[in-house]
Structure 1
């Protein structure tokens, strides 16, 4: 235990130009007497620690000496803090990261702190995706976020050709198997799915970071707006026996199961962005599902039936 305390005391000394016995005691949760003995033991062991008496005195490392007790490279440190980041809810992990910061030489601390703010994981599942879709540019964007460098981003939106824009990378978020970049643009904060990124070219210009920017909070705001659109409409239907397992996999949290009907079918409600989109998703079950309302969903299925019959139906006799 004393060896652990001595290391912790040394790490604490590295974070400040001068500390008092009382500050060491409070930090390590020991008595002032124990803290003083530990400081004296470090000095006796040859660590360049010295004390200065009187008002404004305390204990310091000679010449502001710094010792890297971690054995980690700069890249390894940034990768560790990027993965652990601020989204961790484990108290032990947060405590361990604080201790690690104290162990780092001063030049490495800003990179570690920047990396800890650069990533976020959102555990709520939108699409039940089972594979991570990142694209080939994750490493380049991670470096841009951590280093605070603007990039020219080649990006293809849904149904649009690739366009190039200059953005300020602020953070990376993993959501339902997909990675997203949160970045500042001329039109404010935006999100970019990494699987749609076509190119990344650093500009060398520093990122302009909004005041009080907090990645988890910003992402929650984006996610809330998207989820409002995902749950904007509801379709009511009835489902044949044996089809419920398919629906549960298809819709997950957007499916609400009602009572079983006298004929053995089950009434359901499904949420989605529009009645037409929900109807299109239900069409794959064929006659095992019957949409009851709203009318827009039934009309969409009727149009789909006509289109499919025109392609796959029997040829019309001349």
Structure 2
């Protein structure tokens, strides 16, 4: 029997990409239901090539999932412990990593997520609470803030902080703010958010709910004391409120305009949540509100839509549009 290699907590992120997460979880569920499967059977069941099935089975083993292959006639792949295993071969951290795939940030399909939530009931009792916590510990927000550099490497203390979230343990946090000042405080970790290529810790503090950029964390020491988690706390909902507030601070200016219906779609693609569509006027146009950083930046953003968009205020944005128009006319006639 081959020796288990790797660690699921560190091995899974490099493997679970897009639809592949679905396939790997589906294979695991097949192994749960059956005594043994072959690569041919997996390929037929999932409608993939036999080569892909073999690669995915190998990937599960390399990620640390307790599966092994039997060679020769009548061989195949099995879960350690047999077909009706309770997955007791998983360590606590491996069980948590497995059920991260079932959370709202997962790329898995709803059917796979539902199957994983059922599968959690088969976990040994000591792992079950943490596995369920893992499913709600992470939120992914694909939109980046601004146009800063993209950092692909996970920040130093990400694993420690996510582990504290899942275990429900307070952390003594060292943190460097945007001005370079370092402070230390005890926080109650509630969730991790991946925002574009940046990572954030959402935590309760003496001052209320706060967010911390994980790449600014200078130390993270677990205290052993339990987290006091608000009974109605929902990470995804809380992050939406936080992100909306940050966006309002980043784009404090509001401009009013009238827009023809055909331009609403392109404008929404360009501006996202900064575009708010209102009522329809008597001439068939929509009243809209557009948020921006300042008058000139906002005028530049909407200048290309001027054939479909009539900015009605504030006066400063209209003046900047007129200035841009004069500059274009002078240069291009």
Shorter-chain TM-score: what band? Answer: 0.5 to 0.7
Aligned residues: 203
Instruction: Map 1:60-209; keep pairs closer than 5 Å.
Output: 67-69=85-87, 71-88=89-106, 90-127=109-146, 130-132=150-152, 134-209=154-229
CA distance in 2, matches of 1:192, 1:166: 13
Flag structure 2 segments of 5+ consecutive residues without an equivalent. Answer: 1-28, 34-83, 256-269, 276-289, 302-313, 321-333
Determine helix, strand or coil for the equivalent of 1:68: coil
For the 8 Å contact 1:81–1:116, the answer to whether it is kept is: yes
Deviation at 1:254, TM superposition (A): 9.0
Deviation at 1:274, TM superposition (A): 4.1
Deviation at 1:91, TM superposition (A): 1.5
Determine helix, strand or coil for the equivalent of 1:212: coil
Q: Which structure's CA Rg is the greater one?
A: 1
1:267 is matched with none
CA distance in 2, matches of 1:93, 1:123: 21
For the 8 Å contact 2:101–2:113, the answer to whether it is kept is: no
CA RMSD of aligned residues (A): 3.9
Deviation at 1:101, TM superposition (A): 0.6
Q: 1:160 to 1:131 in 2, by over 3 A?
A: closer
Flag structure 1 segments of 5+ consecutive residues without an equivalent. Answer: 9-65, 236-250, 257-269, 283-292, 300-318
2:252 is matched with 232
Instruction: Map 1:263-302; keep pairs closer than 5 Å.
Output: 272-275=292-295, 278=297
CA distance in 2, matches of 1:133, 1:71: 30
Could you state the TM-score of these two structures normalised by the residue count of structure 1?
0.53
CA distance in 1, matches of 2:121, 2:226: 27
Please identify runs of 4+ aligned residues in structure 1 that moved more than 4 A: 251-256, 293-296
Deviation per CA, 1:164-222: give whole Å up to 9, x if none.
Answer: 01100010000111110000000111111111111111111111001121111111111
For the 8 Å contact 1:70–1:100, the answer to whether it is kept is: no
Deviation at 1:255, TM superposition (A): 9.7
For the 8 Å contact 2:193–2:201, the answer to whether it is kept is: yes
CA distance in 1, matches of 2:167, 2:247: 32
CA distance in 2, matches of 1:255, 1:91: 29
